[in-house]
């Protein structure tokens, strides 16, 4: 048969007759991906209702039928980690006879979800995102040649209702691809992969200036009486916007504005006006913003960026968020522990993998109110939940920059937690943690866990304060004594309470252990948060 005629015939066959739904894989399934080892692996997608579907991978062949809504899914049996590049093939009755739907160069290993706001979205190179770029950027990118590390970066997407798809594709870690990688995600994966020696995949779903409630689904917020008002305010704002559409204006310049929002959130908001319906400030007044496109609003990022990747099999999640918290009139810091716990619990429920590991980055020190010790204290409440961990970054902040460039230490500290708690490595994964205090005359002795080899790396130990019965804290002298620290002040003869690093920006003079991990801020007069009532 003439080749030209054959091509024309195929084209005619594909463009005539009834229109049939194309067989598709869900968003996270692309070439170069990593599938989770030692767990059942859901594979899902869409097709013509009733269409038979076959999925083949690594010697497994599974069949199913698309349901009445055109959705289909199967579960691959648990597989051992493998660096062998293999194909995942999906076949349906109505596909082109020329080729099947294939994902090439698929590995099996450890998969982690990386989410949060701009410090997780922070790219390796400032050429990709102007606010980003890691310390020693050029050298780090040139050395980022790890073919067994892959990253899926979800495209920014906000929506009112849960979406089925999010843009993005898996990329192999090379110096050419690494500039656009999440820096925290990359350093976490690099340090992990060096140790466990199997493929590591990271799914990055992050958006600058986003609040935690933006990443939570509607049903989870609606059933909590203290969080439901967030949803009600959002719904009211959407209704107001839809019934009072703004005039058409020129689109903003094509640039990443999410980080700008983070910076604005951490500085004064002079010159801004407030939307009386949403309670949100907007810079310089101007045209009202569609509430659905505001990353501070409840559910919008869960709908646009998280729902499309559930239930892609993962080992656990890492989270870097907290600079954007609702204002005090709506619960503020006091409500954040509940929001954070709701997110973790509901994601675990939705994924259906049990209480998978969930590790956060406690905010770095910075002068802005967004990085206050109260915010860091609220973040630390997650440790009351099972299978959680916290990487402390108080010591690596920058005075005037909400986006510190030292993401290497952040990745190292997160990977240490995973290596110790998930992968069984006998390593220290935490800095000194306050356990108790004892008044000894005019001093207080502070006891710590994770306290082998206590040291003040900068020579002088700072940021300890004492208070007497009047509750007024003053600067104090601190001396290391074995696994404890003795704190005293000539101004306090009978101390009753002690604090450490209870300032926005503790610059130098930090307490570390022998592993080089910084002590967690604390106050002995710490309030107790109840995440359940």
How far is it, in rounded angstroms, from Cα 378 to Cα 527?
10
pLDDT in tens, 109-168: 999 999 999 999 999 999 999 999 999 999 999 999 999 999 999 999 999 999 999 999
- Note whether 181 and 153 are within 8 A (CB): yes
Distant-in-sequence, close-in-space partners of 363: CB < 8 Å, separation ≥ 6: 322, 323, 370, 371, 375, 376, 379, 393, 394, 397
Residue 32 DSSP SS3: coil
Residue 398 DSSP one-character state: B
Query: What's the CATH number where 497 sits?
Result: 2.60.40
Domain that holds residue 473: 434-523
In a domain, 460, yes or no: yes
| Chain segment 466-511, per-residue pLDDT in tens | 999 999 999 999 999 999 999 999 999 999 999 999 999 999 999 9
Residue 458 lies in a domain: yes
Phi/psi at 281 (5° precision): -85, 150
H or E, element range at 231: helix 228-243
Alpha-carbon gap, residue 497 to 468, rounded angstroms = 7
**What is the model's pLDDT at position 256?**
47
Q: What is the DSSP string of 158-218?
A: --SS--S-----EEEE-TTTGGGSBHHHHHHHHHHHHHH-S-EEEEEEE-TT--GGGGS-H
> Per-residue pLDDT averaged across 250-273, rounded?
45
In a domain, 470, yes or no: yes
- How does 141-173 read in b/e, with b if 16+ C-beta sit within 10 Å? beebebebbbbbbbebbbbbeebebbebbbbbb
467 occurs within a structural domain: yes
In a domain? residue 348: no
Question: Residues in the chain, how many?
Answer: 533
Average of pLDDT values for 226-233? 96
Q: How many domains are there within the chain? A: 1
Predicted confidence band of residue 288 (pLDDT cuts 50, 70, 90): confident
Residue 308 lies inside a defined structural domain of this protein: no
The pLDDT-based confidence of 458 (bands split at 50, 70, 90) is confident
Q: What is the pLDDT of residue 14?
A: 42
Work out the pLDDT band at 356, boundaries 50, 70, 90: very high
Q: How confident is the model at residue 246 (pLDDT cuts 50, 70, 90)?
A: confident
Band (pLDDT 50/70/90 cuts) for residue 51 is very high
What's residue 94's pLDDT? 63
How far is residue 317 from each of residues 29, 89, 177, 248, measured CA to CA in Å? Answer: 18, 28, 22, 40
Q: Across-strand partners of 474?
A: 466
Asked if residue 263 has pLDDT above 80, the reply is no
Whether a cis peptide bond, with omega within 30° of 0, leads into 311 is yes
Count other C-beta atoms under 10 Å from residue 350's C-beta.
Answer: 16
Q: Check residues 478 and 334 and name the one with the higher pLDDT.
A: 478
Within a domain: residue 511? yes
390 pLDDT higher than 50: yes
Give the containing element (helix H, strand E) for 474. strand 473-475
**Is the separation of the CB atoms in 372 and 332 below 8 Å?**
no
Neighbours of 99 (CB within 10 A): 8
Model pLDDT for residues 69-95, shown as the tens digit of each residue: 999 999 999 999 999 999 999 999 865
Domain annotation covers residue 134: no
Number of Cβ atoms within 10 Å of the Cβ of 247: 6
Answer for the pair 445, 437: CB distance below 8 angstroms, yes or no: yes
Per-residue pLDDT, 250: 65
**Global confidence as pTM:** 0.91
């Amino acid at each position: 048969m003439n080749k030209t005629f054959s091509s024309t015939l195929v084209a005619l066959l594909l463009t005539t007759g009834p229109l049939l739904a194309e067989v598709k894989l869900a968003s996270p399934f692309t070439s170069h991906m990593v599938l989770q080892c030692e767990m059942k692996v859901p594979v899902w997608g869409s097709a013509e209702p009733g269409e038979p579907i076959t999925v083949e991978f690594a010697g497994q062949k599974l069949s199913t039928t698309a349901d009445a809504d055109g959705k289909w899914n199967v579960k691959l049996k648990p597989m051992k980690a493998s660096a062998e590049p293999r194909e995942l093939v999906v076949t349906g009755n109505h596909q082109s006879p020329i080729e099947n739907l294939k994902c090439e160069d698929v590995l099996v290993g450890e998969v982690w979800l990386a989410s949060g706001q701009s410090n997780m979205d922070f790219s390796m190179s400032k050429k990709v995102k102007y606010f980003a770029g890691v310390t020693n950027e050029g050298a780090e990118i040139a050395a980022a040649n790890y073919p067994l590390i892959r990253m899926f970066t979800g495209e920014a997407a906000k929506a009112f209702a849960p979406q089925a798809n999010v843009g993005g594709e898996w990329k192999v870690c090379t110096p050419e691809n690494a500039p656009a990688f999440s820096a925290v995600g990359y350093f976490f994966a690099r340090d992990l992969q060096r140790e466990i020696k199997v493929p590591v995949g990271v799914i990055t779903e992050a958006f600058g200036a986003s609040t935690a409630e933006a990443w939570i689904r509607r049903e989870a917020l609606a059933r909590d009486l203290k969080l439901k008002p967030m949803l009600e305010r959002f719904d009211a704002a959407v209704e107001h916007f839809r019934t009072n559409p703004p005039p058409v204006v020129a689109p903003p310049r094509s640039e990443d504005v999410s980080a700008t929002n983070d910076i604005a959130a951490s500085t004064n908001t002079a010159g801004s006006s407030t939307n009386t319906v949403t309670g949100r400030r907007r810079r310089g007044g101007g045209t009202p913003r569609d509430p659905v496109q505001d990353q501070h609003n409840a559910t919008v990022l869960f709908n646009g960026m998280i729902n499309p990747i559930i239930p892609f099999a993962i080992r656990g999640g890492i989270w870097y968020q907290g600079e954007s918290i609702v204002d005090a009139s709506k619960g503020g810091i006091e409500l954040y522990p509940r929001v954070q716990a709701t997110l973790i619990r509901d994601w675990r429920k939705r994924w259906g993998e049990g209480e998978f590991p969930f590790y956060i980055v406690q905010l770095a020190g910075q002068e802005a109110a967004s990085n206050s010790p109260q915010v860091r204290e609220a973040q630390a409440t997650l440790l009351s939940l099972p299978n959680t961990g916290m990487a402390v970054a108080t010591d690596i902040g920058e005075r005037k920059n909400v986006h510190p460039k030292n993401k290497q230490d952040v990745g190292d500290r997160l990977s240490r937690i995973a290596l110790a708690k998930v992968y069984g490595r006998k390593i220290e994964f935490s800095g000194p943690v306050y356990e108790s205090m004892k008044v000894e005359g005019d001093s207080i002795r502070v006891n710590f866990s994770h306290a082998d080899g206590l040291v003040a790396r900068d020579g002088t130990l700072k940021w300890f304060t004492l208070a007497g019965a009047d509750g007024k804290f003053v600067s104090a002298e601190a001396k290391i004594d074995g696994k404890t620290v003795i704190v005293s002040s000539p101004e306090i003869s009978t101390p009753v309470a002690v604090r450490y690093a209870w300032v926005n920006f503790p610059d130098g003079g930090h307490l570390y252990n022998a592993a080089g991990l910084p002590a967690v801020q604390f106050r002995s007069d710490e309030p107790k948060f109840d995440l359940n009532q």
